[in-house]
Amino acid sequence: MGKKLRYRYSPRYSQAELERKVAVETIRRVLAFGTNKSVLPLSYLVEAVSEDDVKLLNELRRLVDEKRRQKKT
């Protein structure tokens, strides 16, 4: 038989980076689902987060507030 070929694989993204990219893209697609840019998909996100844990809802608020401050500067 011939030589066995060996391939060395190295991931382009770390597991955390990949999870972040998948999550961001999924959320973008959900938000784009409404053709009139309605707030309905956002309400689904808030509903899902608040059903799981009120602490997550507070964290979502903190992140939104932080992003607002960044956008103002």
Whether pTM > 0.85 for this model: the answer is no
- What's the rounded Cα separation, in Å, for the pair 10 and 67? 33
DSSP string across 26-40: HHHHHHHHSTT--SH
Domain ranges of the chain: 37-73
pLDDT value for 1: 58
Residue pair 34/41 in contact (Cβ under 8 Å)? The answer is yes
pLDDT tens digits, 11-29: 899 999 999 999 999 888 8
- What's the rounded Cα separation, in Å, for the pair 68 and 73? 9
Question: What integer is the mean pLDDT of 52-73?
Answer: 89
Would you give the distance in Å from CA 68 to the centre of its chain?
A: 18
Instruction: Count the alpha carbons within 13 Å of 28 in the hemisphere toward its beta carbon.
Output: 6
